[in-house]
Structure 1
Amino acid sequence: MSAILSADDLNDFISPGVACIKPIETLPAAKPQDSSDPYEVTTEDQVAASQPPPPAQISLTDCLACSGCVTSAEAVLVQLQSHNEVLATLDAHPRLHAPWTAHNGPNGVANGHVRNDMTNGVNGNHTEPKFFVASVSPQTRASLAAVFSVSEVEAGNMIAQLLSGPAGIRTGGAHGNDFTWVMDTNVVRDACLVAAADEVASALSPEATPPTADSEGAAATTPKNPILTSACPGWICYAEKTHPYVLPHLSRLKSPQALTGTLVKSVLSQRYGIPPSQIWHLAIMPCFDKKLEASRSELTSSGWLPNPDPLQAPVRDVDCVITARELLHLAAARNITFSSLPRTPLPSSQRIPFPDPKLDAFLFPPTRRKNHNRDAGPSGGYLYHILQIYQSQNPGSTISISRGRNADVVEFSLMQGSQTIIRMARFYGFRNIQNLVRRLKPAKLSRMPGARGGVRRPGGATNGAAGGEGVKEFAYVEVMACPGGCTNGGGQVKVTEVADVRAAEGIHAVNGAAVAAKPGPKEQKEWLGRVDEAYFSASDEDSGDSDGDQEMMDVDSSRANGVDGKGIDEVDGISRSYIQRVLGHWSTITGVDTQRLLYTSYRKVESDVGKKKQSDVERVAGLASTIGGGW
């Protein structure tokens, strides 16, 4: 387990679970053998008991399959997905060079196929080479920007220099490996926002069909109103384990992290014949719950491979997730001072293009698009983008914003004069989420003779399956587990750690941005304000690629050329027609339907953890009693 992760760090902790998560069956300890009885008969059970049982192993996948814990960050239970795993993987596998470059020959391919027979130069053992690809969230960049008093763009450049630059991690390790591409998840998030708006429009359509009882969590179903975001894995894990009745309301759309992994692995593996196991995707995210998301069985190659091999285990779309704090540990482990890394972008002339020109222009645009404004929130802006779509379709309408019972509950209304067109809401933090799911719980039917409808529930819930007053009027709800949103994720640098981080980097005062000696809740709130400021202040600026490809410029400028049937295309700098062309092109070159690429599924998690297991005697006795027998 990463040394920086502990239960005390979690700001979205609910309650501990019962019993162990993955107990192993053990036999009674063997009795000392009595040599005085040479005719003693030894049973197989006694022989097995004499051998010490193997130690129990647990993984994040086990956590997801168990309802024994009710905590959104179950990563505290496992030793997986840390900066140590990143370094171990880089040292264990030679880097697979891109087959479309001149490294492997004039056509970029060695002997007509990808070179996958390299040998580990350290110990001479056969080791499968890998592509190393990374993606970085804007919230992570904002956290590091606040620590080192740089802009969010500069922090992103420093991360790219660490992972791919000449002064980065390639300077050490067994193979001198680094990452072929470092991607900005903001780009893929644009695709998620467009797809989310389409999903809401489809769900609110009069022709929408509600999911059946046996397909409520299926990817192909249309979610019920109110539609709840699904980009936060802590919230999803909590819903699946404790409130499965909300599953029909969940958006089926993948998160930017998951969609980035699907895009990279599907394109490289399908178009160039590279096994998914040879593509290693690292995601740098603001919270530990993203490690849980990466471990979901639904987010693997089995979801998009046209003809998966039943004998081959599915490969995760995201192999490892680390946070901002773990990224600093990664640099320190390679004896790299993060603050000394260049704040300028890597020259585009040294960047290996993504194998498809259209996808290369999409993933690596010549300019970095700014984050959304403060009204959109620090968690991706799903709600606000959808609201802006409806506003563009209703000229003259205005967006009304009102605070709920606390700062983490915000209600949005699109108004046309005095008429309300659509209502949405934002619920951040588990205290507010608990109120939300309580109101969505279907009312129990009364068994009293002559009773009508359901029974009123405490906390504002009313009759009917739609839930409580107010909640049922919302068409869309943005739900995030962390109070304050994703910039306050558990993996971000906390105010209590800033002084130590700066001291380790040899920085004692950064432009007057001092931190209190003993920071408390007030200082943490002020610190979160600095992180938010870095997040929202990121603006459109040139990425520094003065020698950028003109084709990239042409494709990027084409975003505003197409319009849909209503004549509305670009909203908040995102062109719906351009995104749809990119997604259609992705589907075409991989031969995979867009539905399988973009959407995922959810399931109710059931477990017998904490329940008394029935012994064989009790089970047989119960069976005998049901047929009229007995002992």
Structure 2
Amino acid sequence: MSAILSADDLNDFINPGIACIKPVETLPKQQPVQNGNPYEVTTEEQVQAEQPPPPAQISLTDCLACSGCVTSAEAVLVSLQSHSEVLDTLDAHKELQLPQYKQEIHGMTNGDTEGGKIFVASVSPQTRASLAATYGVSEREAGNMISQLLSGPYGLREGGKHGSGFTWVIDTNVMRDVALVSAADEAQQALDTPSGELKKPVLTSACPGWICYAEKTHPHILPHLSKLKSPQALTGTLIKSVLAKKCGVSPNQIWHLAVMPCFDKKLEASRRELTSHTWHGEEGDAIRDVDCVITARELLMLAESRNISFPCMPRTPVSKQYAPAFPDPAINRFLFGRRKSAGRQREEANNEIGTSGGYLYHVLKTQQAKHPGSSLRIQRGRNADVSDYAIVSSDGTEVFKAARYYGFRNIQNLVRRLKPAKASRMPGAARRPGGARKPGGAAAGEGDYAYVEVMACPGGCTNGGGQVKVGDVATLRQVGGTGIENGSVEQDVLPAQREWLTKVDEAYWSASDSGELDELADDDGDISVENGSNADGQTGIGPDADVVDGIDRRRVKDLLDHWVAVTGVDLDKLLCTTYRAVESDVGKSKGEASEMEKVSALAVAAGGGW
């Protein structure tokens, strides 16, 4: 970003975008010419001017249909994260080879660190599911195709100025396990200390669209937000903090690309709370934990820009020559060991787990494990994106109550319930018990939730704005060759969007339902088959293992302890983040040119755009 532009200085709240589908101003009424000539021809413009339209009424539906209303800072930060930035960065920097690797790749010798960068990518399961449904492959095969594009010899390495590629491609599912275990502990902590810093109910914070909405419009929600970083942010913090220590390089020499289902993840990557200043100290410039975010559709644009046919990418894993082991053996086992989550195979549980990470389901299962003999009771809400959950003890007592709210329409109802009660203005109300008036007419007991999973997109993260849409599938299967065997998928009648999302969800679960054995990378990069292992390489499936919802909690805890030992940073600084209320300055006087105009000009000059 330009030195003359600071994101923190640009705070124009939610100013309407230029392409808003409804007008935000009513033009002043033009005065008709008073000449009294009844035979004068009146133009159409004059007739319309005499009858001005009513003031525009912009509803939430309009905003969601447009997605064009963001702050000036957000506009430039989003526009500068694209597939073009990925290619420009790869062409501008050589791929830095780490000292422990003795091979030479693409003519770059060990020790040549000047101007070089370590390139690391992380890929979400929702992105893999979108591409798997598009090209008729499994989620695991789609992941291999992505790795081949980013790291393999026939992908990005084949072209470009330096032949640079990504040294590691990480599945964010592994850091999701860290987030789930930490979320369950956080929910328990909120139960044990009702008057603590985190208020009940605890609201998930992994969805940046929801966080942006809460910070701008409902500051009373902030004390309820989970303090945990998202899997995207956790992955960035892990790789940059560990590589900086293990390889003796600056965090600025580590470039992290995240491939996500949602454009709002670009805003999350740009947050000042998610930089090296939180874990590396305040010295020097703040280095973002995630340097660039692209979506599934932008990943395909990345391949197309290099004249690469993505569907023709090999569906097998990248060879060890292009996928070396991570410098820390324990973290290497954690990041690249393919673990079979035995507790997540049941189809009847998939709907309750959801495709947004399964935060709520894991918290519920953890609470159920703490209350032997208890059962899970589910009550559907007014639509498919709202559900109530309760852990019921053997005697019928509710011991834990939670909910799921997806989509902004449902989120509005949630935040209305959590809004603090207003003091009644009726005479004597302050002296009467119950004189406070609760907004929204919420019924008693609606605020009893201990945990709520909140996601901005209806249907969850597989329905993110950056995913491949059903209308694009036919074109994508034809561009550059489909690579689909027998051409059977080409003959399928394209489904409607709702049916398409069902196919994406099926692809999301295809990896865990495959029944394959777990493969764990040894220190030398070889693959060994085990039932599971913790950060020290010990078996994690056994009578003494603490396994909840298919996740070995002891293994995750060992990884966190090892992470702290390697970096010397407090665990809270590695795992947690903060939030801030954003005040509006809409309507306040500004200079000759608005901040939006200034930033738009800078974005255009830098080559960015929506």
TM bucket normalised to smaller: 0.7 to 0.9
2:128 is matched with which residue: 141, 145, 150? 141
TM-score by length of 2: 0.78
Measured at CA, do residues 328 and 542 of structure 1 come closer, stay the same or move farther in structure 2, by a change above 3 Å? farther
- Are residues 1:427 and 2:405 paired? yes
Q: Which residue of 1 aligns with 2:49?
A: none
Aligned-partner Cα distance in 1 for 2:575–2:90:
29
- Are residues 1:241 and 2:216 paired? yes
Superposed displacement of residue 395, structure 1: 1.9
1:573 is matched with which residue: 537, 550, 569? 550
The 5 A counterparts of 1:14-29 are 17-18=15-16
Measured at CA, do residues 160 and 132 of structure 1 come closer, stay the same or move farther in structure 2, by a change above 3 Å? same
Q: Which residue of 1 aligns with 2:293?
A: 321
Q: Which residue of 1 aligns with 2:116?
A: 129
Q: Which residue of 2 aligns with 1:51?
A: none
For residues 343-368 of structure 1, what are the alpha-carbon distances to aligned partners after superposition, in whole Å with 9 as ceiling and x for unaligned?
11123465211111100000010446
Q: Which residue of 1 aligns with 2:94?
A: 94
Q: Which amino acid aligns with 1:536?
A: W
Measured at CA, do residues 423 and 166 of structure 1 come closer, stay the same or move farther in structure 2, by a change above 3 Å? same
Do the aligned partners of 1:387 and 1:414 also contact (CA within 8 Å) in 2?
A: yes
- Are residues 1:527 and 2:527 paired? no
Superposed displacement of residue 473, structure 1: 1.1
Q: Which amino acid aligns with 1:308?
A: E
Structure 1 unpaired stretches of 5+? 1-14, 21-67, 118-127, 212-222, 462-467, 616-631
Partner SS, residue 256 of structure 2? strand
Partner SS, residue 472 of structure 1? coil
- Are residues 1:342 and 2:314 paired? yes
Do the aligned partners of 2:341 and 2:551 also contact (CA within 8 Å) in 1?
A: no
Aligned-partner Cα distance in 1 for 2:435–2:266:
40
Do the aligned partners of 2:86 and 2:292 also contact (CA within 8 Å) in 1?
A: yes
Q: Which residue of 1 aligns with 2:540?
A: 560
Q: Which residue of 2 aligns with 1:607?
A: 584
Taking only the aligned residue pairs, the percentage that are identical comes to 58
Partner SS, residue 423 of structure 2? coil
- Are residues 1:227 and 2:199 paired? no
For residues 42-73 of structure 1, what are the alpha-carbon distances to aligned partners after superposition, in whole Å with 9 as ceiling and x for unaligned?
xxxxxxxxxxxxxxxxxxxxxxxxxx956999
- Are residues 1:156 and 2:168 paired? no
Superposed displacement of residue 392, structure 1: 1.4
Q: Which amino acid aligns with 2:555?
A: Y
Measured at CA, do residues 476 and 510 of structure 1 come closer, stay the same or move farther in structure 2, by a change above 3 Å? farther
Do the aligned partners of 1:149 and 1:511 also contact (CA within 8 Å) in 2?
A: no
Do the aligned partners of 1:374 and 1:536 also contact (CA within 8 Å) in 2?
A: no
Do the aligned partners of 1:345 and 1:544 also contact (CA within 8 Å) in 2?
A: no
Do the aligned partners of 1:562 and 1:577 also contact (CA within 8 Å) in 2?
A: no
2:511 is matched with which residue: 535, 538, 541? 538
- Are residues 1:406 and 2:383 paired? yes
Superposed displacement of residue 76, structure 1: 8.7
For residues 269-318 of structure 1, what are the alpha-carbon distances to aligned partners after superposition, in whole Å with 9 as ceiling and x for unaligned?
1233210110000000000000000000000000101x431xx2100000
- Are residues 1:308 and 2:312 paired? no
- Are residues 1:590 and 2:567 paired? yes
Superposed displacement of residue 258, structure 1: 0.1
Aligned-partner Cα distance in 1 for 2:392–2:314:
48
1:460 is matched with which residue: 438, 441, 444? 441
1:116 is matched with which residue: 101, 107, 113? 113
Superposed displacement of residue 543, structure 1: 6.9
Which segment is superposed worse, 340-349 or 256-265?
340-349
Do the aligned partners of 1:499 and 1:515 also contact (CA within 8 Å) in 2?
A: no
- Are residues 1:177 and 2:157 paired? no
Partner SS, residue 560 of structure 1? coil
Which segment is superposed worse, 345-354 or 72-81?
72-81
Q: Which amino acid aligns with 1:478?
A: E
Do the aligned partners of 1:139 and 1:487 also contact (CA within 8 Å) in 2?
A: yes
Do the aligned partners of 1:81 and 1:320 also contact (CA within 8 Å) in 2?
A: yes
Q: Which residue of 1 aligns with 2:182?
A: 195
Aligned-partner Cα distance in 2 for 1:77–1:271:
31
Q: Which residue of 2 aligns with 1:280?
A: 255
- Are residues 1:440 and 2:418 paired? yes
Structure 2 unpaired stretches of 5+? 1-12, 19-67, 593-610
Partner SS, residue 264 of structure 1? helix
The 5 A counterparts of 1:235-274 are 235-274=210-249
Partner SS, residue 424 of structure 1? strand
Q: Which residue of 2 aligns with 1:36?
A: none
Measured at CA, do residues 558 and 460 of structure 1 come closer, stay the same or move farther in structure 2, by a change above 3 Å? farther
Superposed displacement of residue 545, structure 1: 7.7
Measured at CA, do residues 532 and 286 of structure 1 come closer, stay the same or move farther in structure 2, by a change above 3 Å? same
Superposed displacement of residue 400, structure 1: 1.5
Measured at CA, do residues 170 and 614 of structure 1 come closer, stay the same or move farther in structure 2, by a change above 3 Å? closer
For residues 385-419 of structure 1, what are the alpha-carbon distances to aligned partners after superposition, in whole Å with 9 as ceiling and x for unaligned?
01001111222221112210110001111122422
Superposed displacement of residue 334, structure 1: 1.1
Aligned-partner Cα distance in 2 for 1:162–1:438:
46
Q: Which amino acid aligns with 2:330?
A: K
Do the aligned partners of 1:99 and 1:109 also contact (CA within 8 Å) in 2?
A: no
Do the aligned partners of 1:559 and 1:575 also contact (CA within 8 Å) in 2?
A: no
Aligned-partner Cα distance in 1 for 2:135–2:73:
27
Q: Which residue of 1 aligns with 2:9?
A: none
Which segment is superposed worse, 502-511 or 194-203?
502-511
Q: Which amino acid aligns with 2:449?
A: F
Q: Which amino acid aligns with 2:423?
A: L
Superposed displacement of residue 443, structure 1: 1.2
Q: Which residue of 2 aligns with 1:332?
A: 304
Measured at CA, do residues 91 and 319 of structure 1 come closer, stay the same or move farther in structure 2, by a change above 3 Å? same
Aligned-partner Cα distance in 1 for 2:92–2:149:
19
Q: Which amino acid aligns with 2:15?
A: G
Measured at CA, do residues 543 and 335 of structure 1 come closer, stay the same or move farther in structure 2, by a change above 3 Å? farther
Aligned-partner Cα distance in 1 for 2:287–2:391:
43
Do the aligned partners of 2:172 and 2:235 also contact (CA within 8 Å) in 1?
A: yes
Aligned-partner Cα distance in 2 for 1:90–1:150:
29
Superposed displacement of residue 471, structure 1: 3.5
- Are residues 1:210 and 2:196 paired? yes
Do the aligned partners of 1:90 and 1:178 also contact (CA within 8 Å) in 2?
A: yes
Do the aligned partners of 1:72 and 1:289 also contact (CA within 8 Å) in 2?
A: no
Q: Which amino acid aligns with 1:460?
A: G
- Are residues 1:361 and 2:333 paired? yes
Do the aligned partners of 1:19 and 1:610 also contact (CA within 8 Å) in 2?
A: no
Aligned-partner Cα distance in 1 for 2:529–2:339:
14
Superposed displacement of residue 456, structure 1: 3.4
